[in-house]
Structure 1
Amino acid sequence: MPVTVKDMMEAANAVVERIDTAQAKVMIEQGGLLLDIRDANELENTGRAAGAHHIPRGMLEFRADDALQSHDPELRKERPIVLYCASGGRAALAGKLLKDMGYQKVYNLGGLADWVNGGGETVKS
C-alpha cells in the first residue's frame, strides 16, 4: 500500500521529539546546532533565527552523509541538531531522515514563529 504524507508525518513525529525554544537554547548553548531547512527564498523574505545554520531540505541528505564530498562539517552524528522550518512539518520529516542516517540527537523546534514566540531572536539573511 502506498505511503501518504499523513503516514510519513506520523512516523516522523513518533521518533523526532518536539521541543520548545527554551529547550533549544539550552542545547545550542551546549554546542548543539540550530538548523534552518527552509528554502532560500523563505530566508530572504522572513530572515532566520539568530545563529542558525542553513541547509535547504532538498539538500539535507547530501550534506548529512559524511562519505560524500558535499558533506557539511557542521553536521556531526554526536552533535545535537535542532531543526526548524516554517511550521514544523518539514522539520519533522527532516529529523526522521537524519535519524535514519544515524544521527541520534535530533529535535523538532517547529517553525520560525515558534522560535520567535519563545523569545528567540531573528536576523535578516
Structure 2
Amino acid sequence: MDRNPEPSQMFSFLKPAPRLSAAEAVARVRAGDLTLIDVRDGGEIAATGRAAGALHVPLAALRMKCDPASPECLPGLSTEKAVALYCASGARSAMAARALTAMGYREVHNIGGLHHWQAAGGAVTR
C-alpha cells in the first residue's frame, strides 16, 4: 500500500461529485437504475414534499443510515448501485456526495435542489 499518494490524489475526496442532469436522474430513477436520496430536514420535506421515490436521509443521519459498515444502514442501499442526492440548493447534497464517496459508493451524483428535479418533470409527493 502506498502511504505517500501523489499530490493530485491527496485531496481527491474534496473534488465535487459529478453533476448529473436532473432530467437524466428522473429517467434513471424511473428505470430503477438510480437510488435518489433527499438529504433535507423533515421540516423542509413537510413544507415542500419530496421527489417521488426518494429515500429521506437527513444529512445529520447520513453516516448512520448509508454507511455499509453501520448496523442501521438502509437495506435498499448498495455501494454498487448509482446514487443521486439533492437538497434545497445543492450545497448539502454536495457534502453528502463526498461522504458517500468516502464510504465506498462507486457512482455518486449531486443533482442540486428539489426545484431542479421538478423542472425536469420529476414528480413530487407530499
TM-score, normalising length from structure 2?
A: 0.83
Name the counterpart of 2:9. none
Contact 2:26 2:120 in 1 (8 A): no
Shift of 1:27: 2.4
Task: Using the TM superposition, give the Cα deviation of residue 66 of structure 1 relative to its aligned residue in structure 2, in angstroms.
Answer: 2.0
2:18 aligned partner:
17
**Cα-Cα RMSD:** 1.6
2:111 equivalent in structure 1: 109
Size of the alignment, in residue pairs?
114
8 Å contact from structure 1 (residues 35, 54) kept in 2: yes
d(CA) in 2 for partners of 1:87 and 1:13? 19
**Structure 1 unaligned blocks of 5 or more:** 1-10
Is the CA contact (8 Å cut-off) linking 1:64 and 1:98 kept in structure 2? yes
Residue 123 and residue 64 in structure 1: after superposition, are their counterparts in 2 closer, same or farther (change >3 A)? same
1:69-114: per-residue Cα shift (whole Å, max 9, x none)? 2111122100110100000000011001100111011000100011
Partner of 1:121: 123
| Other-structure match for 1:91 | 93
Residue in 2 that maps onto 1:6: none
TM value normalised by structure 1: 0.84
Q: Which stretches in structure 2 are left out of the alignment for 5+ residues? A: 1-11
Q: Which has the larger radius of gyration?
A: 2
- For 1:12 and 1:83, locate their aligned partners in 2 and report how far apart those are by CA, in whole Å: 17
Q: Does 1:41 align with 2:48?
A: no
Q: Match for 1:79 among 78, 81, 90?
A: 81
Indicate the residue corresponding to 1:5 in structure 2: none
